[in-house]
Chains A and B, each alone.
Chain A
């Protein structure tokens, strides 16, 4: 199969409210809020949600050579990582994807922090983080639905540059393969992604049985 890349302009998600609250340290059994406090936090989260522009891109690549130390895929690309190789040992192809919540949410959080609005800044930050995580989960779910018909399924775990022994510099390869800059995401010299609410991932494609 080919290795065309596919862009998703708008990832539709229900707001992962529970997770946002958890990230903020809320304990569902212990934490109590007054109506005014709840209103303030809820309003900040709602505003944060409206600032997230969830976009993504994914591509499928054939694995041409597998060893316990490295995986060759696509047109001569290589991931050197024993742990990633272990994840992909049952896979004939792999999927790479990236999702971002966009620049607005990150810039707005910084702006609020600068203005002394800590609650707003925190809420935006937690919302951006959870929205982009949920978007990554969504892409995995979406791809599983796509692949199901061909009797294929994604590995349950996914991997990212910077995890385990897969060096962070591999982000550059992901950016090249998926044209991630088209999502408005840039890579710094140290291979960090800006805006920071961005996730890249690699997963294997396996036979469903």
Chain B
């Protein structure tokens, strides 16, 4: 009981520190992770094995970490090194692509393809945001997309804010479609042993249906604000070819990206785990970068990786003390064993929570809870997993602080003088989020019940 109280206190302190931004989130999670190891496992539980289980370093040296022989399995509790390895590799690859000018080139190509018409740019950029976010982290997608949007808006004289808001929403939606689209999905997939195609055929399908409604919704909201734009302006400064910094680097990064997509899509068949894919693409990117490898390595967001490690330890502490089973029991009691109600609770709690707090710690905390719910209540674990993924990924769109893509989109707009406060943001994004969560709930009910 004491261990549970201490574990919950540490968890709450970590969340409070992350929200307050008094100290950086990676320091908060790592510090609280250390406290969890010392106070909960050491002082309260006197359990050396709990410490080892949570650190989970041994898993890296098992064959299953690198090759799953066609079968995937659930990861043990504690630090999910598979997620860490995969995200690191992806960060290196994305950095290489950004340096080569891939994203800017793609944006300008599409803008030219649609003849620089504001409404067409609006719709195609939404779709591009969705597709890119399926494979690349949404921060990078929005960073490039929003910057090009502002540039196009200035030249073509349309308001970039509606386009940026729609791009942000679609990036979060696209992230829910695949296993590597959003960190919660990577954690859910690697923790519960799901494959890329498992996600695509479940959350991916739902996300695609939602995308259709989202495009219609945003078009109705913003069609007047966008107007037709001015297309008779000089667009010679927008030559896609100019975006390419170095043709050799550009070709290589395109090839690496294509290979990554193929490896991810086929990893259930090839048996290569996401940690292998992440490691391989990271190494190949560094080798092909030559002298720039050091620059790429320096650009890796180590703070996020450290944040993940600390977070996994804190959640591992909660799991080891059994407190998450108590929460699972509470959800089971409220829903009285009704699976549909349970799904609704998981979906809406995930969505609402993710609208206000970081969805990564929330998803990591919820995984043991849905595992416990599935075991005790007989609800299919995959259905709960897809529900959790959709709730956490999409819920984040509702408020400016809900997801990283929102923060980056708002920031890029603001730096260019287009202010997006809470009111302006929530007026359009909160109803869109509610709409998509509702559609997702209907899809889940129709497909799985």
> Do these two chains really belong together in a complex?
no
Q: Spell out B's residues near A (CB within 8 Å).
A: none
